[in-house]
């Protein structure tokens, strides 16, 4: 990037370059380049500030634009580099490195650069793609949930719910219908411990992670064994797995059962809806009727037009009727939902959005919940491998057994475990004892899991991540010496742009070449420069 600046000044390009182009040119090449392993001597001092030889060679060679074997090319580069540093020193003298805008831009780049090191972008994309691919099928199923006690639940306290779930599973295996059993049991229990639901459509990321995994592995027509989540045990019957039908764009008119604070009778709403439908059938304008009659505040003013939607996003009667329409302009009959009566007009049917379209929203959703372990698994696994992670299951089992009597975040758990010093795992031959993990779990908000063993597992995964991150930080500069040069280069690039923009680039194009020449001459007089030609000469050997 900087060599690009220097070359630009040498040939005196006449066109104004955009700031983004100037600062970001060659960034990808920067990330893949390697700093030369040269002595950290000084190549020059500019205005009393030393410039390391290693910085000089890194910038020169990362894009392969400076030929150190050619004396003429090397000397030209030295002159350009010197002038570049003179401009940076002048920008610093004018306080351009102290402005809020400068700080924000540099911090933004630093966050972007760090992200390229502290992540596995390929692994993240593969994890997001796996979730996207699940969405190619829409699942229809019924489930019965036997709740565990509310609040924090110890391992032993889950056994009654598990036994009850196994009893339900065995009854269903013998031929009882899950929907009939679930409805009857739910009504008898009044929803206190038993939950039943028929789910017509389930997109990805809508269920607890362990349940979602079990659902997508369950063939159509099959019954699952009890699946434990933090809230209880699910028994699932998979009714069907259907291909994603795409999206629908539609307009609708809602005649609701309640308008503001006034509740209509079903008969009153039906009479108005039938009147509106007759007007539509008489070819009155649908959009104008929506503006006049619809009680949907989100769409009435737009003629009833809704955003494109897929199955599982609207109330079931509405979406079933919308997806049943086939021809653009086709209008449904009256469709009753819990909100009132709908009249739906099909605008168009669309394919499922592409992975590139959905990627960012899926990744954002994964990062905010328990699916973040899937999202960052590739990076976590790489850190474990690079730092020689070894797991000791017997030590973990001892802590898991404590979960029969104590919840991991309780102070009593820590008091019990603080003298347990078997290593749970090691990184680079450094052991991490049970007591240290127990102290880690005693911190607030480590996990939101309410089942003791789930809390223990999630906390352990976070503890290992924190330890491997610390191990990586301890060797980061040694592993990535180019990082400091990239930050210095970008910092100087911002200053170079700002000072050049002020002194030359905003002036008339015809005058820029002469202004540049005068400016360089003035800077050479203003700031003393000492060049270490002995060190530079060695570069040619």
For the domain that residue 190 is a member of, what is the CATH number? Answer: 3.10.50.40
* pLDDT range class, residue 473, cuts 50, 70, 90: very high
What token pair was written down for 334?
A: 């009256």
Counting beta carbons within 10 angstroms of the beta carbon of residue 409, is it exposed (0 to 12), middle (13 to 18) or buried (19 or more)? buried
Same domain assignment for residues 141 and 232 = yes
pLDDT of 304 over the 80 cut? yes
Please indicate, yes or no, whether residues 472 and 495 belong to a single structural domain of this protein. no
Nearest to 129 by CA among 369, 383, 367, 360: 360
The reply to whether 152 and 51 lie within a common domain is no
Q: What is the pLDDT of residue 541?
A: 63
Q: Please report whether residue 129 resides in a domain.
A: no
Question: Domain total for the chain?
Answer: 4
Work out the angle between the directed axes of helices 355-367 and 121-134 (0-180°, nearest 10).
Answer: 100
Residue ranges in 282-350 assigned as alpha helix (H): 286-293, 316-324
**pLDDT of amino acid 68:** 83
Give me the pLDDT at residue 258, please. 86
Q: Cα(225)–Cα(235) distance, rounded to whole angstroms? A: 6
Q: What is the distance, to the nearest Å, from the Cα of residue 261 to the centroid of all Cα atoms in its chain?
A: 41
**pLDDT at position 33, please?**
34
The model's confidence at residue 39, banded by pLDDT at 50, 70 and 90, is very low
Q: Assess whether 90 and 156 both reside in one domain.
A: no
**Which is more confidently placed, 157 or 1?**
157
132 vs 28, higher pLDDT = 132
Mean pLDDT of 488-500: 96
Confidence tier at 12 by pLDDT (50, 70, 90):
very low
Asked whether the predicted pLDDT for residue 329 surpasses 70, the reply is yes
Residue 155 lies in a domain: yes
User: Does residue 261 sit in the same domain as residue 290?
Assistant: yes
345: containing domain: 247-350
Region 253-260: mean pLDDT is 90
- 97-140 residue pLDDT tens: 999 999 999 999 999 998 889 999 999 999 999 999 999 999 99
Q: What is the DSSP string of 370-412?
A: TTHHHHTHHHHHHHHHHTT-EE-HHHHHHHHHHTTTS-TTSHH
User: In this structure, are residues 434 and 393 in contact, taking their beta carbons and an 8 Å threshold?
Assistant: no
- pLDDT confidence band for 70 (50 / 70 / 90): confident
Please indicate, yes or no, if residue 367 is contained in any of the structural domains: no
- List, for residues 179-194, the tens digit of each pLDDT value: 999 999 999 998 889 9
**Which range, 12-16, 18-22, 39-43, 291-295, is most confident?**
291-295
pLDDT of residue 278: 97
pLDDT digits (tens, 9 = 90+) for 360-412: 999 999 999 899 999 999 999 999 999 999 999 999 999 999 999 999 999 99
Q: How much is the pLDDT for 337?
A: 95
pLDDT confidence tier of residue 61, bands split at 50, 70 and 90: confident
Quick check: is 371 in a domain?
no
Q: Let me know if residue 237 belongs to a domain.
A: yes
- Residue 269 scores a pLDDT above 70: yes
Within-domain flag for 497: yes
pLDDT for 19 beyond 60 = no
Domain closes at, from 211, 243, 275 = 243
- Specify whether 256 is located in the same domain as 203: no
The 10s digit of each residue's pLDDT in 423-472 is 999 999 999 999 999 999 999 889 999 999 999 999 999 999 999 999 99
Task: Report yes or no on 369 lying in a domain.
Answer: no
* The predicted structure's pLDDT at residue 387: 96
CA–CA separation, 401 vs 407, rounded Å? Answer: 11
> Any idea what the CATH number is for the domain that residue 52 is in?
1.10.4030
- Residues 220, 311, single domain; the answer is no
Tracing tokens 């590739």 back to the chain, one arrives at 378
Phi, psi for 290 (deg, rounded to 5): -65, -45
Rounded to the nearest angstrom, the gap between the alpha carbon of residue 71 and the centroid of all alpha carbons in its chain is 49
Average pLDDT of the chain? 90
Residue 1 has pLDDT above 70, yes or no: no
Q: Which of 35-49, 182-196, 483-497 has the lowest mean pLDDT?
A: 35-49
Question: At which of 479, 506, 530 does a domain end?
Answer: 479
In a domain, 68, yes or no: yes
Query: Which of 323, 350, 377 represents a domain boundary (last residue)?
Result: 350
Q: What confidence tens digit (pLDDT) does each residue in 509-538 have?
A: 999 999 999 999 999 999 999 999 988 888
Task: Examine the domain organization and report whether 256 and 305 are in the same domain.
Answer: yes
pLDDT at 24 over 70: no
Answer yes or no: do 209 and 148 share one domain.
yes
Q: Are 188 and 160 in the same domain? A: yes
Give the residue-averaged pLDDT of 208-230.
96
Quick one: 239 and 255 in the same domain?
no
Percent of the chain with pLDDT over 70: 92
Residue 331 sits in the same domain as residue 423: no
Collapsing DSSP to helix, strand or coil, 419 comes out as coil
DSSP-derived secondary structure for 49-83? EEEEHHHHHHHHHTTT---TT-HHHHHHHHHHHHH
Q: Tell me the mean pLDDT in the region 22-28.
A: 34
């Amino acid at each position: 990037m900087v060599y690009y600046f220097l070359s630009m000044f040498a040939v005196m390009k006449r066109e104004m370059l955009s700031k983004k182009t100037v600062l970001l040119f060659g960034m990808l090449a920067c990330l893949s380049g390697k700093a030369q392993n040269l002595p950290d001597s000084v190549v020059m001092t500019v205005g009393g500030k030393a410039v390391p030889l290693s910085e000089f060679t890194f910038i020169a060679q990362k894009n392969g634009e400076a030929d150190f074997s050619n004396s003429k090319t090397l000397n030209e580069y030295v002159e350009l580099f010197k002038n570049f540093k003179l401009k940076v020193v002048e920008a610093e003298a004018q306080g351009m490195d102290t402005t809020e805008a400068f700080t924000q831009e540099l911090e933004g780049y630093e966050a972007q650069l760090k992200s390229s090191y502290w992540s596995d972008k390929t692994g993240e994309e593969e994890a997001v793609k796996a979730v996207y691919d699940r969405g190619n099928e829409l699942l229809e199923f019924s489930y019965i949930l036997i709740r565990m006690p509310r609040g924090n639940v110890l391992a032993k306290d889950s056994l009654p719910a598990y036994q009850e779930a196994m009893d339900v599973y065995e009854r269903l295996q013998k031929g009882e219908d899950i929907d009939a059993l679930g409805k009857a049991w739910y009504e008898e229990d009044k929803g206190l411990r038993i939950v039943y639901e028929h789910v017509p459509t389930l997109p990805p990321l809508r269920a607890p992670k362990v349940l979602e995994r079990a659902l997508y592995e369950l063939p159509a027509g099959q019954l699952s064994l009890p699946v434990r989540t933090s809230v209880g045990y699910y028994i699932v019957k998979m009714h069907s797995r259907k291909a994603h039908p795409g999206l629908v764009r539609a307009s609708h008119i809602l005649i609701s059962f309640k308008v503001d604070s006034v509740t209509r009778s079903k008969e009153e709403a039906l009479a108005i809806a039938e009147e509106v439908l007759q007007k539509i059938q008489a070819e009155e304008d649908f959009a104008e009727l929506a503006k006049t009659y619809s009680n949907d505040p989100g769409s009435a003013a737009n003629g009833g037009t809704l955003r494109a939607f897929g199955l599982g996003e609207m109330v079931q009667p509405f979406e079933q009727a919308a997806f049943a329409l086939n021809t653009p302009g086709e209008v449904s009959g009256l469709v009753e939902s819990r909100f009132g009566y709908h009249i739906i007009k099909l605008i168009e049917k669309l394919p499922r959005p592409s992975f590139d379209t959905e990627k960012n929203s899926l990744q954002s959703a994964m990062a905010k919940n328990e699916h973040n372990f899937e999202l960052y698994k590739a990076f976590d696994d790489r850190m474990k491998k690079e730092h020689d992670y070894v797991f000791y299951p017997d030590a973990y089992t001892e802590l898991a057994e404590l979960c029969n009597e104590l919840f991991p975040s309780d102070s009593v758990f820590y008091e019990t475990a603080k003298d347990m010093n078997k290593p749970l795992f090691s990184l680079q031959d450094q052991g991490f004892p049970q007591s240290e993990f127990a102290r880690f779990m005693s911190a607030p908000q480590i996990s939101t899991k309410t089942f003791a063993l789930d809390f223990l597992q999630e906390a352990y995964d976070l503890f290992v991540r924190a330890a491997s991150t610390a191990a990586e930080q301890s060797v980061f500069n040694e592993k990535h010496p180019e990082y400091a040069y990239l930050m210095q280069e970008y910092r100087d690039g911002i200053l170079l742009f700002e000072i050049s923009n002020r002194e030359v680039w905003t002036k008339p194009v015809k005058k820029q070449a002469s202004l540049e020449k005068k400016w360089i001459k003035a800077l050479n007089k203003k700031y003393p420069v000492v060049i270490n030609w002995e060190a530079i000469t060695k570069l040619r050997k």
